[in-house]
Structure 1
Amino acid sequence: MDGADGVDSRGPLDVTRAATAVLDARGRVIGWSPAAAELLGYEADDVLGRPADDLLGRRAGTGEHAGPPGEERSTRSVVLHLRHRDGRPLRIATTMVPVSSEGTGPAWLLVAADSEELARWEAQQAMLQGLVTRSSVGLAIYNADMRVVWINAELNREMGSTQYVGMSPDEMLLDAEILSEGYPPTLEQVMRKVFATGEPVIDLHYGGRAPVDPEHDRVWSCSYYRLQDAQGNSLGMCEESVDITDRYRAQQRLALLVRAGARIGTTLDMSRTARELAEVAVPQFADAVTVDLLEAVLEGDQTTPGTTAGRRLVRMWGDIGPAGGTTAAGGPRRTARQLVEYPPASAQARSLSLGRKILETGPDPRHTAHDEKEILDAKAAQEPPLRSCLAVPLRAGRSPIGLVTFFRNRYSNPFDDGELDLADELVARTAVSIDNARRFTREHTAALRLQRSLLPQSLPPQTAVELAYRYLPADSRAGVGGDWFDVIPLSGTRVGLVVGDVVGHGLGAAATMGRLRTSVRVLAQLDLAPDELLTRLDNLVGQSAKEWAAVRGVRGGGPEDDEAVGATCLYAVYDPVTGQCSMARAGHPLPAVVDAESGLVSYPELPAGPPLGLGGLPFESTDLQLPAGSLIALFTNGLVQSSDRDIDAGLDRLDEILAEHRRPLEELADRTVSTLLPGPSDDDAALLLVRTRRLDKYRVAVWELSADPVMVGRARAAATGQLGEWGLDDVSFTTELIVSELVTNAIRYAEGPILLRLIRDQTLICEVSDSGHTSPHMRHAASDDEGGRGLFLIAQMTEHWGTRYTPTGKTIWAEQDLPPADSAERADP
């Protein structure tokens, strides 16, 4: 039968196609075929009756050599060097078959063919024989119904027998599947498509377990092509398969490492890193994974090399099962952090103690302690027994940080040497990421601790305002930032309100925030107007930046990555006596102001001003008149702006919350934070809610005095009378001295009208205002000086005193504590 390529499977020396001659007993040619005439160029009339020796150079029928030199022999034929009738040299393979040895009839049948054609045919036959018996390529032939009709010796060895004749391709293996992408789900579907289209499939990866070796997974590279006869009719399918298990596993290990490099350690979160390891390893590398970390590592502490005895492990990923194992061999499932303990004889305990990987293979390596109850519990839960348990320690240098355990069940191959090395690499990459997360946790904790220590720990009650505040640190790789808020008591029952945001993150931003907050408090005690305070603060920040550049030797260079490069700030002063609020800002978001009656939310038009440290435009103050019960919301941009929400959307949601301004401030603060920051944020946020109050008129007494010395006595009398009305006779003597000294100084050194004001708040405040701009200074008078002791006496008799400047002059004030009996009344503004 001729194949599709025209090669006759019967061979060139087959009598049905070869050149033949019939010889009689004397060696004369008595028969000559047309194929012989074509091969040698002699027609039958030319050779019939002639001795064969004339043509072949040998005595026909005897087998004795009589030809010219150069005759070669093969196993099946004699190769003769002849010439064609036209003179061309020929190499002819011949063989002689006896027909009869009696009489004068035909005695020999001489068969001849071109020796090169014979050599090609014999090579093809040898190749076919090799494929059938000795090839390492598995061969199978399927009929048109895609059923096995024949397999070669290699496939017989791989499968264990020839019992697969009559099966479909998908029935030959256990738990088989196509591993290559882009193909139908079954081999039979693949083969039917090839059979229908004639387009071969090359190098399809197919995995499964051979029945002769059901314990091990194998992978084959399979190719399929259609078989046809000489007329082009489709007869069936041929399958070629090569076992590529080792190569495939090596490729999978390499791909796993590439995937691990891209997916493990994407964040500085230890739980996330543990989950990423499990997602990479399951199910390609293991059936289940547990990740345990030393408890100290979770706190950011550096562990010391040496024994791990007494160190507690916390489960970061994996199901808690008997003896610290897993409850199932499925995919990874996250569990809450729990302490885990391993029996001393377990692979995990030994791996952690010895600092090297431990592989256990057995019926159930989880039960190394041979706890009968645990084994019975596992059987009751119908857990598949684990076959391999590989415990690998997590280490940062020589310091232990935890443990990773890989599990494989009875249906998987045990870990081989290459996979043990792969486990080391996976765990090493995970250890680097977890150690980086530990370092970040340590720095983040330190920065957060520093920042919280620099923020107000508690704000004392204020007569001027009711307060609620919140601070939320960032929950990201950037770490804590430099947001802050503050409430500063000022003279005359006034209060300073501050909110700011340092650009940058980390310890540098927290330290800069602390410096700025301290600077604001110091400047606020000078009773500066908001715009003047921000001007001086801007100078301090710019000066500090130049100092940093000088220290680093970089002229005009910026700070390091963890240093703040600028800050925004808003400073406001509220006076509960007048209801006036003066504000100024340095590049900070506008505050929200809620009307006490209508609940309308507005954002006052405050000139923006440049951020601190950048210089440029001057700062400007804006005065607002706020009735009692007005709500002011001061915040940083981290509250209203995020990566998935622009600032306008955040402000709209803030307006909706503040519209319910009559709610308690603590409730409003909680609702604001939970609504605007429901989850982790990339930036920290600060919120300060302030509800204004007004001081009752009966708590304030004001007298306008002329610049006449006689007014000193009248001022003392007026103050004493007012104290009597307030029931504060116990402080009359001290108050008279204070009023006398301050009014006398105003009459002596200032011009214009003099204003005396007494304010009964949590303290008794005495203020004297005049049109002068020269501030008095306290000095120590000599024994022979007639004056200069007034302010010294005031400083001794009062808690605080100072000077603040106004647009029309200055005000000198002094505060003194009230008697304890008045404490209950003081507590109620």
Structure 2
Amino acid sequence: MCPNRPEGAETDPSPAVGARAKALALALRQAVAGVGGRGALVHRWDPGTGRLDLVASDGVSAEAARRWAVLSEEQDVPPSCALRRGVLVRTAGDRLATGAAGTVAVPLVGAGGPIGALTVLLSGTDGPDDVQLSFLHAVAAWTAQHLERADGRPPHGESVPEHERTVRAAELTAALAEAVTVQDVVGAVAEHVLAPFGAEGLIVSVFENGRLTRVGEVGYPVDYLKRFEGPLEAGLPVTDVLRSRSPLFLESPADIYQRYPAVTDRILMGTSPKMAWAFLPLAASGRVVGVAILSYSRPHSFGEADRTLLTTCGALVGQALERARLYDLEHARAQELQSALLPRTLPRPPAAVAAARYLPAGRGEQVGGDWFDVIPLSGDRVALVIGDVMGHGIAEAATMGRLRTAVRTLADLDMSPDELLGHLNDLVSDLGEDFYATCLYAVYDPVGRRCSYSLAGHPPPVFVYPDGTVHSPVLSPDPPLGAATPPFAAHELPLPDGSLVVLCTDGLIESGAQDAEQGLTELLRVLSRAAVRPARFTSSDEEADARGLEELCDTVVSELLPDREHTTDDAALLIAHTRAMPADDVASFGLPDDPRAAGRARELVRDQLSRWGLDELSMTTELLVSELVGNVIRHAKGPMRLRLLRSRSLTCEVYDGSLSTPRIRHATYTDEGGRGLQLVAALSRRWGARYLSDAKCIWTEQDIPPAAPARSAAQASASRSAANGFGDRLAATAEVAAP
């Protein structure tokens, strides 16, 4: 950020003035960050005219800067008062109508006396404290040096090393102001403190629950540091520093031997001996939160200026470290919450094998609300879901969990994609006006080999066909959940066996360097190149199939997000390889719309299971189909249809023309009916109903047992006779409660 140039300020384009402008811009930023201000100004004094001319400002509007562009040394304003008195001047109130709570001005003193003033507009009524004022004086001294350097000569009476240390201290303040994590803080200290003070080693530790925990180090082997791990012990330099809250400077091995003879060997001997140390307490909010240790490979003398500046740096680091620890704690909890809400492993239903990636933002303060899921449905269908809660933070991660749970609950009701998004939209709307989410819900039917889907404000799906063609439908998506007005548009397309379905959130394809349309084009290019022939995924080996999808996910992520550490949004990716059900595993039959349907259904089941080699399931399946058909005859209407699906389980489906909802009744001991669906629930692994536009389907699923010795013909005949008789009785007495 360059300083604002007020009207009347000098415009000399010479290199000296340009360099000074950059230096003043840095000084202003450090002054504002160091005291938590709103803005800052620098005035230069002209002894001949008695004027103070504004030469740089930061965070101050042009109108406000114009009011103090030219001041008289006699005016009753903070810069003039600080110049006349030669001391720091602080006043309350907003002198420039900028919203400031007060003003603090520091005189700029050169080799021959006062040369100007540095003014900071305060944002609060409490502060700055002594440490912040000390740092402000250091920034003012550095600013004065650059004002005197207009002729290209270094200021009188200052050594170059001391000047560089002051510059680095100002740069440290800026780096700490931008530090987010604890590791950012450690990196800032290592970059801006070690070299200026001639140190070779750094250890930063936090103090918590009576022990020090190392969070970062530079210049030390791990083996050497292990000897200092564990509970805090008495008689150590760090123990004294934590107790007294005062820095400790040990300039040679003789110093440490004289003060800490019991631990001298422990500290000096080993793979990384040091010869001088600066132990700096890191304080924040009135308490010590840690210790920073600078170390030297040879004896080192700490001058008064070094000690003062290092003490000031320690206070600044302590505040930044405490803020970073709070961020790390919140960020870790949010990530734990989000990880717990996302699926740990994806199911592998017969119709699809899937792989996914969740990529948290590389930069930014919070986690996001992206999620994905794979949900097995009845009839071997599978739902593929991906969504994104807008915003970042724990609240958004929790909302993501609620939406994922809601989607799973609604999916169990076998709703169509557009209807499911309608219910989900109601849920998001109830959360409040500030909550919005995008979502794509797709259902793949391996029997019909079709994919139906709806989307609310979400990037469209991408399909990779077996011949290598990559296709993304051009759609006009509905608004996001929470802002949409149902109904949502329903889309459907045929999907050949072996196709890939690719779903992603906008964090994968959209960034500051490209919009979503450009990112989608890049995704199509990557998929076209990486999966030219999805035949690589058609292996009958499911594990090999899954490994291929994992590799493809890695390829897509590395191509679209090559610099993940600098991304500002989280991203999710879900890729599924679809598998159609072979025609030989599907059997569909029409049934007569009369009481003969139950007997006909049992015959069809018996014959079909015999052809499939599943005679062991014949008796149970005949009982189930008798109950389902009997319910249709008594409580629903035709036309009726029976469908059997052989997969990892055996699915029995009975279709009818009624939209009434079946439910289990609690029959009493004297009731003659009402137990049919209880029998269905007892005999099947699971059962349910789904609804089409003009019909419904009642379905059951049974586990297919491992191969067993074939039963004798007499046993099979007896089982069929028992099933026929019991099935006829069920058909006559089955009941279902209509809504």
CA distance in 2 between partners of 1:415 and 1:269 (Å)? 32
Structure 2 residue 613 is matched with structure 1 residue 697: no
Paired position in structure 2 for 1:313: 214
Does the CA contact (< 8 Å) of 1:591 and 1:633 recur in 2? yes
Give deviations 1:311-331, integer Å, cap 9, x for gaps.
4435x243127997xxxxxxx
Letter in 2 for 1:788: G
Q: Distance in 2 between matches of 1:372 and 1:762?
A: 66
Partner residue of 1:414 out of 295, 302, 325? 302
Matched, 1:262 2:174: yes
**Number of the residue aligned with 1:685:** 571
1:393 is aligned to 2:281: yes
Distance across 1 between alignment mates of 2:456 and 2:448: 25
Q: Which amino acid aligns with 2:251?
A: T
Q: Amino acid of the residue matched to residue 426 of structure 1?
A: C
Q: Is 1:485 matched with 2:372?
A: yes
More helix as a share of residues: 2
Partner of 2:516: 647
Contact 2:201 2:296 in 1 (8 A): no
Equivalent in the alignment of 2:675 = 789
- 1:149 paired residue number: none
TM-score (norm 1): 0.60
Partners of 2:346 and 2:454 in 1: CA distance: 22
Larger RCO (CA under 8 A, 6+ residues apart)? 2
Structure 1 residues 476 and 399, CA gap change in structure 2 (3 angstroms): farther
Q: Provide the residue aligned with 1:511 in structure 2.
A: 398
Deviation at 1:510, TM superposition (A): 1.1
Per the TM alignment, residue 745 of structure 1 is displaced from its structure 2 partner at its CA by 2.1
Pairwise CA distance, 1:817: 1.9
Provide closer, same or farther for how the CA distance between residues 313 and 267 of structure 1 changes in structure 2, counting only shifts above 3 A: closer
Moved more, 731-740 or 640-649: 640-649
The secondary structure found in structure 2 opposite 1:819 is coil
Kindly provide the amino acid, as one letter, of the partner of residue 605 in structure 2.
Answer: A
Q: State the alpha-carbon separation in 2 of the partners of residues 614 and 353 from structure 1.
A: 57
Matches within 5 A, 1:95-174: none
Specify the alignment match of 1:444 in structure 2.
Answer: 331
Q: Which moved further from structure 2: 517-526 or 268-277?
A: 268-277
Alignment of 1:170-209 (within 5 A): 204-205=153-154
Query: Are the structure 2 counterparts of residues 363 and 767 from structure 1 closer, same or farther at C-alpha, using a change threshold of 3 Å?
Result: closer
- Indicate the SS of the match to 1:264: helix
Contact conserved, 2:202 with 2:294, CA < 8 A, in 1? no
Counterpart in 2 of 1:775? 661
Structure 1 residues 638 and 245: alpha-carbon distance in aligned structure 2, compared to 1, 3 A threshold: closer
- CA drift at 1:349: 5.9
Shift of the alpha carbon at 1:270? 1.9
Q: Quick one: which amino acid aligns to residue 288 of structure 1? A: A
Q: Is the 8 A contact 2:252 2:299 kept in 1?
A: no
Q: Residues of 2 paired with 1:535 and 1:323: CA distance?
A: 60
Distance 1:754 1:262, change over 3 A: same
Change (3 A) 1:592 1:772: same
Taking the aligned partners of 2:298 and 2:645, their CA distance within structure 1 comes to 86
Separation in 1, partners of 2:424, 2:317: 46
Residue in structure 1 matching 2:203, options 282, 289, 292 = 292
Q: CA deviation at 1:699?
A: 1.3
Which position in structure 1 is the counterpart of 2:500? 631
Higher radius of gyration, 1 or 2: 1
For 2:208, the equivalent position in structure 1 comes to 303
CA distance in 1, matches of 2:154, 2:300: 18
- On the 8 A contact 1:768/1:813 being kept in 2, the answer is yes
Equivalent position amino acid for 2:327 in 1: F
Q: Which moved more, 1:567-576 or 1:779-788?
A: 779-788
**CA positional deviation for 1:517:** 0.3
> Post-superposition shift, 1:514?
0.6
What corresponds to 1:673 in structure 2?
557
In the TM superposition, residue 667 of structure 1 has moved relative to its aligned partner by 1.1
Q: Aligned equivalents of 2:338 and 2:401: distance in 1?
A: 7
Q: Is the Cα–Cα contact under 8 Å of residues 358 and 392 in structure 1 kept in the other structure?
A: yes
Q: 2:249 aligns with which of 359, 372, 379?
A: 359
CA contact (8 A) 2:422 2:486 kept: no
Instruction: Name the % identity.
Output: 39
The structure 2 residue matched to 1:581, chosen from 451, 463, 473, is 451
Aligned residues of 2:202 and 2:292 also touching (Cα < 8 A): yes
How big is each residue's C-alpha offset from its partner over 1:453-480, in whole Å with a ceiling of 9 and x where there is no partner?
1111112321001211111222333221
Q: How far apart, in 1, do the equivalents of 2:515 and 2:256 lie?
A: 52
Give the corresponding residue for 2:463. 593
String of CA shifts for 1:153-176, please: whole Å, max 9, x gaps: xxxxxxxxxxxxxxxxxxxxxxxx
Aligned residues: 544
1:279 counterpart letter in structure 2: E
C-alpha distance 732-425 of structure 1, shift in aligned 2 (>3 A): same
Q: Tell me the residue number matched to 2:354.
A: 467
Determine which of 729, 743, 755 is the counterpart of 2:615. Answer: 729
Matched ranges for 1:650-661 at <5 A: 650-659=519-528, 660-661=530-531
Letter in 2 for 1:806: L
Deviation at residue 792 of structure 1 after TM alignment: 2.0
Matched, 1:609 2:478: yes
Change (3 A) 1:350 1:313: farther
SS at match of 2:673: coil
1:357/1:391 contact within 8 Å kept: yes
Shift of 1:256: 5.7
User: How far off its partner does 1:245 sit?
Assistant: 7.3
Aligned match of 1:568 = 438
2:11 aligned partner: none
Name the SS for the 2:493 alignment partner.
strand
Matched position secondary structure for 1:279: helix
Quick one: structure 1 residues 421 and 373, their matched pair in 2 at CA, closer, same or farther if it must change by over 3 Å?
A: closer
The equivalent position to 2:291 in structure 1, one of 372, 380, 403, is 403
Q: Does residue 718 of structure 2 align to residue 813 of structure 1?
A: no
Contact (CA 8 Å) 1:586, 1:609: kept in 2 or not?
yes
Judge conservation of contact 2:200–2:296 (CA < 8 Å) in 1.
no
**CA distance in 1: counterparts of 2:253 and 2:687, whole angstroms:** 84
Contact 2:194–2:201, Cα closer than 8 Å, also in 1: no
TM-score when scaled to structure 2?
A: 0.67
Describe the SS at the equivalent of 2:484: coil
Gaps of 5+ in 2: 1-110, 113-143, 537-547, 710-739
Q: Could you tell me how far apart the structure 2 residues matched to 1:774 and 1:431 are?
A: 68
Q: Is the 8 A contact 1:607 1:620 kept in 2?
A: no
Change (3 A) 1:770 1:605: farther
Per-residue deviation, residues 501-527 of structure 1 (Å, max 9, x unmatched): 111212111110110000000001111
Q: In structure 2, give the amino acid aligned to 1:358.
A: L
Alpha-carbon separation, structure 1, partners of 2:662 and 2:269: 89
- Judging changes above 3 Å, is the alpha-carbon distance between structure 1 residues 536 and 669 closer, same or farther for their aligned structure 2 residues? same
Deviation, structure 1 residue 394: 2.1
Residues of 2 paired with 1:790 and 1:377: CA distance?
80
Matched residues in 2 for 1:819 and 1:410: separation?
A: 77
Shift of 1:253: 7.8
Q: Distance in 1 between matches of 2:214 and 2:266?
A: 24
* Mean CA deviation greater in 266-275 or 438-447: 266-275
Counterpart position of 2:140: none
Q: Which amino acid aligns with 2:456?
A: A
Deviations 1:526-545 (A, max 9, x none): 11000000000000111122
Distance 1:788 1:405, change over 3 A: closer
**Structure 2 counterpart SS, 1:205:** coil
User: Could you say which residue in structure 1 is the equivalent of 2:428?
Assistant: 541
DSSP-derived class of the 1:588 partner: coil
5+ residue gaps in structure 1? Answer: 1-136, 139-178, 185-200, 207-220, 222-242, 325-337, 380-384, 546-555, 559-564, 824-829
